[in-house]
Amino acid sequence: MPQITGMNTLINHSLKFFFRKLFYSLIVLLGVITIVFFLFNVMPADPAKMMLGNRDNKEQIELINSKFYFDKPLHTQYLYYLNDLSPISFHKSPPEFKKYKEIFSFKSSVIVFKYPYLRTSFHHKNMTVQSIIINSLPNTIVLAVSSIILALLISVPMGILCALYKDKFLDKFISIVSIMGMSLPSFLSAILISYIFAFKFGWFTNLNVTGSLYIMNDDGSNNFLEIKNLILPTITLSIRPLGVLTQLTRNSLLDEIKSNYIFLARSKGLNMFSSIIFHALRNSLSSVVTASSGWFAGMLSGTVFIEYIFGWNGIGKLLVDSLIYLDFPLVMGIILLIATFFIIINILLDLVYTFLDPRVKIN
């Protein structure tokens, strides 16, 4: 049964690939945690005092210090933090998590299986980091996905047009526009776009100058979805990748068009346009996919300027705010999230490569 064994080896390979990637990503995450943790503790600031503000007194400071382990030596704090993050953790007394499963207990010490615990925020009183992140994560994901889709939907056809009309007027025009788009800083384009389309022509477009994906009722009772607020940030965010991806598509297509297989396809009677669509495009997409995955990961980790200017409650805005208040658990949580995004996108990228090019094998 050769086919079945072939299938088995394929699954075997994929599993091996997956576990190896998982192992590497855990190492990457550990490195990120370590570096950020120690960097944060180098900073000359007292989080306990910052939390209490003007109302600090000695007892309260000591209380907070013992609650958040600030009185312990640095390496102990680090181990405690890792213990909290790890899905399998050790505790001297039954822990306070909502959900956990006991694996092993001895006297009052237990080893438990749980979700990674990111602790509670210093700044936002009594809110867990998880709940804060979950509040703004959907905003960022929606914005990033819509921007990258918009960029790809426009840039790939533009690149094809450029390649088709190489050195003609259309090619030069699109190239100039895309280079302008590439070099436009996002804070400037954000201000320009919100000024023109929401302020000047607001009467016509009916768009808001600022606003997040969910906005609150006037009486603060209910959150509701406001899709139209997505339009302007999406356009702004996609301008730069649009320029880059257009040029990339054009150049890699022009490389492919010179190949013999394109001439062979044309000798079958395909015209230039169809031979680009059916033959050259797929082979030239790998560089476009690489570049756009980089942009996408960058967008997921937050785009501070755009989120600030449009008042979009995203990860980038959250990160900057938490840095200002030295809110260590929140910063750490966001950075871990960003690192995880990058890792996931890289794994997906490898899979996309194998789909695009049969010569690339998962190995």
Residue 356 near another protein by CB under 8 A: yes
Residue type for position 28:
V
Q: Which residues contact 295 (CB under 8 A, 6 or more apart)?
A: 148, 151, 240, 241, 244, 245
Residue 264 near another protein by CB under 8 A: yes
Owner of token pair 């075997």: 12
Q: Which stretch binds another protein (CB under 8 A): 34-42, 71-79, 210-218, 264-272?
A: 264-272
Name which of 177 and 270 has its Cβ closer to another protein: 270
Min separation Cβ 241 and another protein, Å: 25
Q: How many residues bind another protein (CB under 8 A)?
A: 24
Residue 265 near another protein by CB under 8 A: yes
Min separation Cβ 214 and another protein, Å: 43
Residue 271 near another protein by CB under 8 A: yes
| Cα 14 from Cα 9, distance rounded (Å) | 8
| Cα 26 from Cα 161, distance rounded (Å) | 43
Asked if 189 and 180 touch (Cβ cutoff 8 Å), the reply is no
Residue 261 near another protein by CB under 8 A: yes
User: According to CB under 8 A, which residues from 133 to 172 bind another protein?
Assistant: 167
| Cα 276 from Cα 353, distance rounded (Å) | 19
Strand-pair partners of 109: 106
Min separation Cβ 13 and another protein, Å: 10
Min separation Cβ 350 and another protein, Å: 17
Q: Which stretch binds another protein (CB under 8 A): 69-77, 190-198, 279-287, 314-322?
A: 279-287
Residue 279 near another protein by CB under 8 A: yes
Residue 357 near another protein by CB under 8 A: yes
Min separation Cβ 273 and another protein, Å: 9
With CA atoms as reference, report the closest residue to 158 among 220, 251, 86, 246.
246
Q: Which residues contact 116 (CB under 8 A, 6 or more apart)?
A: 84, 85, 86, 87
Strand-pair partners of 101: 113
Give the chain's length: 363
| Cα 101 from Cα 351, distance rounded (Å) | 34
Binding mask 198-237 for another protein (x = CB under 8 A): ----------------------------------------
User: According to CB under 8 A, which residues from 7 to 46 bind another protein?
Assistant: 9
Residue 334 near another protein by CB under 8 A: no
Other residues' Cβ atoms within 10 Å of the Cβ of residue 345:
15
Binding footprint of another protein on the chain (CB under 8 A)? 9, 167, 259-261, 263-272, 274, 278-279, 282-283, 356-359
